[in-house]
Amino acid sequence: MAKVVLENVGKTFKDNKGNLVKAVDDVNLTIDDEEFMVFVGPSGCGKSTTLRMIAGLEEITGGTILIDGKVINNVPPKDRDIAMVFQNYALYPHMSVYKNMAFGLQLRKYPKQEIEKRVMEAAEILGINNLLERKPKELSGGQRQRVAVGRAIVRKPKAFLFDEPLSNLDAKMRVQMRTEISKLHTRLSATMIYVTHDQVEAMTMGDRICVINDGKVQQVAEPLEIYNEPKNRFVAGFIGSPQMNFIRGALKTEGGKILFVERQGKGGVPLRLEVEEPKASRLQSHLGKEVIFGIRPEDIQDKLFVSADATPGRVTQAITEVVEPMGAEVYLYLNSSSHSFVARVPTHEKSEVNLRMDLVFNMKRAHFFDVNTEEKIV
- What backbone torsions phi and psi does residue 265 show, to the nearest 5 degrees? -100, -165
CB-hemisphere CA count at 13 Å for 198?
Answer: 17
* Residues 323-340 pLDDT 10s: 999 988 999 999 987 889
357 within a domain of the structure (yes/no): yes
Question: How confident is the model over 223-230, as a mean pLDDT?
Answer: 97
Per-residue model confidence (pLDDT) at position 352: 86
Res. 95 pLDDT band, cuts 50 70 90: very high
Write down the pLDDT at residue 287: 94
Of residues 78, 115, 81, the one with CA closest to residue 98: 115
Query: Same domain for 229 and 253?
Result: no
Answer for the pair 233, 246: CB distance below 8 angstroms, yes or no. Answer: yes
- As a whole number of angstroms, the distance between CA 51 and CA 78 comes to 15
Strands 329-335 and 315-325: antiparallel
96 and 232 housed in the same domain:
yes
Asked if residue 92 and residue 154 are part of one domain, the reply reads yes
> In this structure, is the dihedral angle defined by the CA atoms of residues 200, 204, 209 and 210, taken in order, positive or negative?
negative
Q: Which of 238, 267, 300 is the last residue of a domain?
A: 238
| pLDDT at res. 2 | 86
- Measured CA to CA, the distance from residue 88 to residue 197 in angstroms comes to 16
Answer yes or no: do 141 and 172 share one domain: yes
Residue-range definition of the domain harbouring residue 286: 245-370
For residue 376, is pLDDT > 80?
A: yes
Mean pLDDT of the chain: 92
Q: Which of 18, 46, 19 is nearest to 210 (CA)?
A: 46
Percent of the chain at pLDDT exceeding 70 = 97
Single out the residue in 217, 238, 259 at which a domain terminates: 238
pLDDT in tens, 144-166: 999 999 999 999 999 999 999 99
Q: What ranges in 171-269 are assigned the alpha helix state H?
A: 171-188, 199-205, 223-228, 233-238
CATH number of the domain within which 193 lies: 3.40.50.300
Q: Which residues pair with 6 in a beta bridge?
A: 29, 65
pLDDT at 48: 96
Per-residue pLDDT for 8 more than 90? yes
Answer yes or no: is 378 within a domain.
Answer: no
If one counts the domains in the chain, the total is 2
Average pLDDT over residues 189-208: 95
**216 with 290, same domain?**
no
Q: Are 232 and 287 part of one and the same domain?
A: no
Q: What is the mean pLDDT of residues 166-177?
A: 88
Torsion angle in degrees (nearest 10) through CA of 58, 59, 65, 66: 80
pLDDT of residue 266: 66
Rounded mean pLDDT, 357-361: 92
Number of residues that this document lists for the chain: 378
Buried/exposed code over 146-184 (b: 16+ C-beta within 10 A; e: otherwise)? bbbbbbbbbbebbbbbbbbbbeebeeebbeebbebbbeb
